[in-house]
Amino acid sequence: MPPNTTATSGDKPGKSGRKKGRKARLIVLVLVLAIVGGIAYGAYWSISTVRASFPQTKGSLTLKGLSGPVTVKRDGYGIPQIYASSDEDLFMAQGYVQAQDRFYEMDVRRHMTSGRLSEMFGKGQVKDDEFLRTLGWDRVAKEEYDTKLSDSTKKYLQAYSKGVNAYLAGKDGKDISLEYAALGFINDYKPEQWTPVDSVSWLKAMAWDLRGNMDDEIDRALMTSRLGPQQIKDLYPDYPYSRNKPIVQEGQYDELTKTFEQSGSTSGSGTSTDTSGSSTSSATGSGLTSQLAGLYNVLDDVPTAVGVNGQGIGSNSWVVGGQYTITGKPLLANDPHLSASLPSVWYQMGLHCTTVSSKCQYDVTGYTFAGMPGVIIGHNADIAWGMTNSGVDVTDLYLEKLSGDGYLYDGRTKPFTSREETIKVAGGTPKKIVVRQTADGMPLLSDRDDELVKVGKKASVDNAAPDRGDGYGVALKWTALDPGTTMDAVFALDKASDWSSFREAAAQFDVPSQNLVYADTKNHIGYTLPGKIPTRSSADDGSIPAPGWDSKYKWTGYIRQDELPYEYDPKRGYIVTANQAVVDKDKYPYTLTTDWGYGARSQRITDLIESKIKDGGKISTDDMRQMQLDNSSEIAKLLVPKLLKINLDDKDVREAQKLLEGWDYTQDADSAAAAYFNAVWRNILKLAFGNKLPKELRVKGQCLWVEKADGTGPVDDDTKVRECGERDADQAQPDGGDRWFEVVRTLMDKPDSDWWKTPAGAGDRNKADNMDELFERAMVDARWELTAKLGKDIDTWSWGRLHRLFLKNQTLGTDGPAIVQYVLNRGPWKLSGGEATVNATGWNAAGGYGVVWVPSMRMVVNLDDLDKSKWINLTGASGHAFSAHYTDQTGKWADGELLPWSFSDKAVDKSTGDTLVLKP
């Protein structure tokens, strides 16, 4: 991996400096390729090949289909602001400009959403394509486009596609991107025309990565192979409502609650039940453990679109009313936490009508997705909005009892519907698959893995299940598999002008369900929860896979939009959303999920706001930025006082322990104390929990001698078996997220719990029979783990040496030849922050300390003066590896800085470096 040579100091680069730096990088590229790949290979990858794909950003060019001229102004970071005189011209230009910078990324994503990655990358992607074809995102997107979306939305999607295709006209792959030049050595792939459905399909990929608790459903079911109901309950403690406040505290649900309490009705809620598995125990059994583990591996292999889906990942967004700000108007902050990708999933852009009218309705700026028109998060002239994942439960897995060519349902056999799909393979033979669905459209996911099919045929389940017969399969119920209106919502949000129009727009944002925070220039703030959210019967809380043969586990309907929680101008003067519970479960009649984030980040943000406004204090734009960078560890505050009381015999371990004395619990990159504490935390989790979990949840290759699940009698060699973990490092458990904070917090009141007991390590070292002894062993193990990783001298230790970010191109940068990876990837950066902190540079404690997810962007909107708003992206505007804007924001992002965010004509003109005029 190359050193980080692309992060800038943050000064606006001069034109001559940019040209010299670019030329130097291009020369190095050619020399490296010539030496490593041979003269012929290197000659093909010439400077002209690299430069051919760089966008034209100055002068003028003709775009057939425009009705009038369009101006594209780019600042020193290559961020475009587009000015047009009609809606269609505006979105056509957006398609053209995004394709200039990001078409390869767009092309890969549409092949992913349609299950056609094999057409680009060959047989290695066939399994992924099979699964994605089974989900059928592109089929749902087409139905959505044909039957659900408004005429104006279709018109904008068509205009966007026209702009993308205008960019592609007359270009070969190597003229579009360096990656296509690399693919040219493998196959003769050529990009095809863009379609409106390609854009709509992207929403399905976004919904998949933000789908909610499906992974927790599988994990709880898998735990039953080794843990009992109470043990599983220990690992999924109740949400701490009294300590970590929910989002909505004064909102609409109060009136709904009164009706709820007076009637005593659950209103089809699927009321909360024991998440240990008792409510759906008939769907679990020893054979299904293997089947669900196999399904998890299939899910894990599917490429992520916007982020890892797992406990601990989320986003921050909060808004502070004008009574508590220096400006007297609201401030709104947002930083979604997603997988680190190169280029960033976000693309910054402004979309401006030269005159806002019925012909041209938009004047909006913010973060877009390359491949989709409109702005997803940002502000217009009147309002600003941010998003965090709500985490509501919109997916359920169903265990289907197979019978011949059908499945059992309420004692009768029903036929599957089926379709045949053909997967084309670059350089290989096409493969045909059959996709089976239940009568209500649930795809049978287990068909996609031969081993799952075999296991299903042999599966055993609890006695309450029907006879095994032809075995069992696993099907998926998910709101995103029905056509929806989210694309309509994007355009409606972009032109909303007040709370009422914002709420109307948000109501169309059906999948994925998001927490939306709001602020406007008239000094109002608000929150709303939109989304298509199912209701369930009292038999099912959605926490583990349900028996598909019993109709009482079927969804009973959907919560009406006017019954979903919201707040408007709450008396407390601020609203915080960070994936915590939306409402108190005792005050709302519907079960939204049993798997909220546990509120460590949200409560810390709340505390920071409260500390600023007490005694009449006011909050500034920079205060909001500083809050986004808060590195405080909530679990350290709980554990460190306990760790400092432990007597240690080894002087080297005592030396490490002293690092924690006087530590302020902040996880700065240069902190040795943060490095040691997080190593202790990781070892506590491994000793207390990780080594006791079934192999299906542990890190791949981590092998332990464990007691057989069916072992009886004394524990000796006859009752033990060697088991090796099966999960990728970034998805294994215990991951160390704030659920595990709550697990440990709860168990600290039970110092003699069996969870704190662990056998001796190598050489009978440090057996633990209680919490203190386990903590002591964790401190010892952490000392020697860091000695191996960082050296014996603790003065050289730092959190950033462990906690590093590598940015990788998501295709050839992960699986391409080594030289191509060298060319496309960047890093490392040593980062501050950590797991479940506000500055959530997430890491998986089961797998290691490397950064897994990050604040993918940060923004602070100033509703008093929009030109004083600030923003930053993880990488840069460009997807071209040797563009000056490939990672030119990353250095500032890593340092916690924000860039000026121009909005008004005057501010944009002042920041403009390059101007391009698109002519009809």
Measured distance CA(105)–CA(343) in Å, rounded? 8
The SS3 of residue 183 is helix
C-beta neighbour count of 328 within 10 angstroms: 13
Which residue from 802, 796, 801, 794 is spatially nearest to 652, judged by alpha carbons? 794
Q: Read off the pLDDT of residues 502-538 as tens digits, 9 standing for 90 and up.
A: 999 999 999 999 999 999 999 999 999 999 999 998 8
Q: How far apart are CA 237 and CA 743, in angstroms?
A: 6
Count of CB atoms situated within 10 Å of the CB of 642 = 12
| Backbone torsion region of residue 523, taken as left when φ is above 0, otherwise alpha when ψ lies between -120 and 50, otherwise beta | left
Q: In 114-209, where does DSSP find H-type helix? A: 117-121, 126-135, 137-147, 151-168, 178-183, 196-209
Q: Which residues are paired to 331 by β-bridges?
A: 320, 862
CA distances from 295 to 131, 181, 451, 619 (A): 10, 36, 10, 48
Distance CA 288, CA 133 (A): 24
Residues contacting residue 4 through CB under 8 Å, at least 6 positions apart: 826, 827, 828, 829, 890, 891
Q: Which residue has the tokens 């863009």?
A: 194
Whether 426 contacts 126, CB under 8 Å: no
Q: What is the pLDDT of residue 818?
A: 84
Neighbours of 658 (CB within 10 A): 14
Contact 75, 60 (CB under 8 A): no
- d(Cα 861, Cα 870) in Å, to the nearest integer? 6
Predicted pLDDT at 796: 97
8 Å CB contact between 606 and 576: yes
The pLDDT score that the predictor gives to residue 721 is: 83
Please report how many Cα atoms fall inside a 13 Å half-sphere around the Cα of residue 752, on the Cβ side: 0
3-state helix, strand, coil in the chain (%, to 5): 40, 20, 40
- DSSP category for residue 523: S
Tokens of 196: 């409106």
CA distance linking residue 123 with residue 664, whole number of Å? 52
- Tens-digit pLDDT profile for residues 601-642: 999 999 999 999 998 999 999 999 999 999 999 999 999 999
What angle is formed at CA 446 by the lines to CA 440 and CA 448, rounded to 5 degrees? 110
Q: Can you list the residues of the chain whose pLDDT is less than 70? A: 1-49, 212, 252-313, 450-470, 708-719, 761-765
**Residue 289 pLDDT:** 59
